Copies of this chain bind each other. A is one copy, B any other.
Amino acid sequence: MTTITLDAVGKSFGDSRALTDISLQFPAGSFTALLGPSGCGKTTLLRLIAGFEQPTMGVVRFEGDVMADGTRMVPPEERNLGIVFQSYALWPHMDVAANVAYPLKGRGFGRAEIERRTAEALAMVSLTGYERRSVDALSGGQRQRVALARCLVTGTMIILLDEPLANLDVHLRAAMLDVFADTHKRTGATIVFVTHDQSEALALADTIVVLDGGRVQQIGTPEKIYGEPANAMVAGFVGRGSLVAASHGFAARGSASSRGKVLVRPHAVRLTETGLPASVLRLRYTGASYETTLVLANGDTLVADLPTRRGIGEEVRVTVDDAWSVPA
């Protein structure tokens, strides 16, 4: 159980600032997702926590102990954490089993114990039978799973994941999500999870941190982030929402202002006989429904999930069941 605290942390690479004034707390046992567009500093933040980068300013603490500030730094090997890299970072000179067993070595486990745990970790990621394979001869997704197993094998109390599921198919992904949820529940580890996939973030995390341009945009539960985004960036980034003028008069939660924007989620849009007139701009099949982009009279676009295929240019009328006044 380890609480991770970042206090006014900043990080620059030469002249360019990757992170600015980040103050965050990851409570012990929490499961936090870092969400944000490419290049917003998610990986950098994770590397600061892991100890691969030293903050330019501010302090990183684990459970009150200073891990790093502007002058000192506890090296990563003494922080006792697990990490999955975006690039996997598997060791090409070891086979799959050796890669996974590596963190167990030098911790006083017997051979049989190491083998047992390794097999267990490989089973968790459905790679039983791949023990003796060279990692160079694995497919992309297989490699990612090896990296995952390597991180899970020791049962550390801090787990850092940098887009651990980016190369997995939906099913493996779902299975992995379950592995994480289980691990989390079982060990109570503090998990920080970088992702660009909001559905992952929404489904898994108990807290989501949205980053943009190296700054924190919003911190909150998935429901809060999705339902009540703190600003236009979050509103636009999380979920497939449409930001439209408040002047359309959609009933909106939050502090309404006629000059601001309101956020409308696709599932809140229905076609009715009586709604606002709109025309169909674009269609995209998603399996469950057709993601349909509608243009309102003033040119605002609205995305709706419709059960049936509409023709491009078709005139329809829309009603909005729910909307959120986005703070300016």
Contact = CB atoms under 8 A, between A and B. Distances in A.
Protomer copies: 2
Nearest to A85: B140
Interface in A161-190: 163, 166-173
A141 B287 contact: no
A173 B139 CA distance: 22
Contacts of A168: 38, 196
A198 B288 CA distance: 12
Nearest to A204: B284
A318 B171 CA distance: 24
A222 B167 contact: no
Interface residues of A, number: 51
A236 B174 CA distance: 13
A226 B286 CA distance: 9
Interface-central residue, A36, A223, A285, by most chain B CB under 10 Å: A285
A270 interface: no
A266 interface: yes
Given A166-B167, A169-B38, A196-B169, A287 B239 contact: yes
A267 interface: yes
Contact of A287 (B39, B140, B238, B286): B238
A142 interface: yes
Contacts of A38: 139-142, 145, 167-169, 172
Which of A36, A166, A238, A307: most chain B CB closer than 10 A? A166
B39 A141 contact: yes
Given A202-B285, A287-B198, A289-B267, A166 B166 contact: yes
Given A163-B167, A170-B196, A198-B170, A223 B141 contact: no
A285 B39 CA distance: 26
A39 B171 contact: no
A247 interface: no
A172 B267 CA distance: 22
B39 A142 contact: yes
A197 B170 contact: yes
Interface string A187-205: 0000000001111001100
Nearest to A177: B284
Given A37-B171, A203-B284, 11 more contacts: A37-B141, A38-B172, A39-B141, A166-B167, A167-B196, A169-B197, A170-B196, A170-B198, A202-B285, A238-B287, A267-B288
A-B pairs, 4 with minimum CB distance: A38-B141, A169-B196, A39-B139, A267-B288
8 contacts: A38-B145, A38-B168, A38-B169, A141-B196, A166-B167, A173-B196, A199-B287, A223-B285
